[in-house]
Every structure is written in structure tokens, then in C-alpha cells.
Amino acid sequence: MDISGSGFWDLLVAAAADDADLCGKAAHARACAFAVRIDDAQHLLEFHRGVLARLEGKDLTGIRFSISGPRSEWEKVITGAIPYARAINVFHGRLRVEGDALSVLWMTPALWQLWRVSARLVGGIGHG
């Protein structure tokens, strides 16, 4: 599965919409747009009232924070091989979170749920 490509993120957005736990946790968070950068690829996402959506285009207006890093580290997060916290840890991880730190914290519970869903999605694809 090419986690850098749009196809994966479309599938993840759809899986997120079907996940009650994720929607429940994200519903309590403020609307927030953020960028996921995997090597040179970028995907813009937004949580709004519990629903995750992809943003069209490359306009970074309104993007509150970004999570960036090499594909190898992203694969570990997306497959659930390592916890998200480890991947973004200043000492242990290779992902970097930049931008509005408060927004990052507000979105933390929803993001953990998102990576749980991504692990299930990738596992399902892998075994399918």
C-alpha cells in the first residue's frame, strides 16, 4: 500500500467516517486543519464536528500544524508498529510536529484514534 498516495488517504478518510470511537473523540474537538507530509508528499486534512475530510489543493491557509517525516517512520505509525507518541517524541522519534502547539494537543485524542483506524485498514488490506 502506497501511504504517500492520495488513494490511501481517501480510503483512510472513508474508514474514519465509519469508526464510531474516532468520530466521538473528534466531535469534541474544535475544527482543525492540518498537513501530513510523507517525504515530499503532502496531504491536507481537516477534522470538523467529528468528520475527517481531505482538503483539495495545496493552499496552506488555515492549516494549524503539520506532521512531517520520512516514509519509513510514517509506515510504522500507520501500521501500528510503534505508538504515535514514540514517532513524534523529540528523543525517540523521526516525525516532527510544527505549528500551533495548542491545536496539536486538542487534536491528540482524535489523531491517536486515526492511527488506530489506519492500522486496522492496512491490516485489512494486507490480509485481504
Partner 1 sequence: MAEIVGRYVEVRGRQAYYEACGEGPAIVAIHTAGREGRQWHGVMQALAGRYHMFVPDLPGHGKSWPLAGNACLQDAHEIAQWLREFAAVVVGDSFIITGCSLGGNLSLLLAAVAPEVRAAVALQGCDHTPTFTETALDLMTHPQVSLMHANMDFSMSLVGSEATPEGRAFSEWGVLSIIPVAQQGDLRAYGRCDIRPLMDKVKVPVLLAHGSEDWLASREMVEATRGRLVNAPLVRMVPLPGLGHFPHLEAPGRVADMMLTFFDEAGL
Q: Give residues in contact with partner 1 (CB under 8 A).
A: 82-86, 89-92, 101-102, 105-106, 108-109, 112
Residue 8 sits at the vertex; the CA angle it makes with 22 and 32, to the nearest 5 degrees, is 45
Burial of 126 (0-12, 13-18, 19+ CB in 10 A): exposed
Question: What's the closest the beta carbon of residue 40 comes to partner 1, in angstroms?
Answer: 26
**Please, how many CA atoms are within 13 Å of residue 47, restricted to the half-sphere of its CB?**
26
- Rounded CA-CA distance 37/34 in Å is 10
Question: What's the closest the beta carbon of residue 61 comes to partner 1, in angstroms?
Answer: 23
Nearer to partner 1, 28 or 49 (CB): 28
Residue 85 sits at the vertex; the CA angle it makes with 80 and 87, to the nearest 5 degrees, is 70
Nearer to partner 1, 14 or 102 (CB): 102
Question: What's the closest the beta carbon of residue 5 comes to partner 1, in angstroms?
Answer: 27
Nearer to partner 1, 49 or 54 (CB): 49
Question: What's the closest the beta carbon of residue 80 comes to partner 1, in angstroms?
Answer: 11
Nearer to partner 1, 53 or 82 (CB): 82
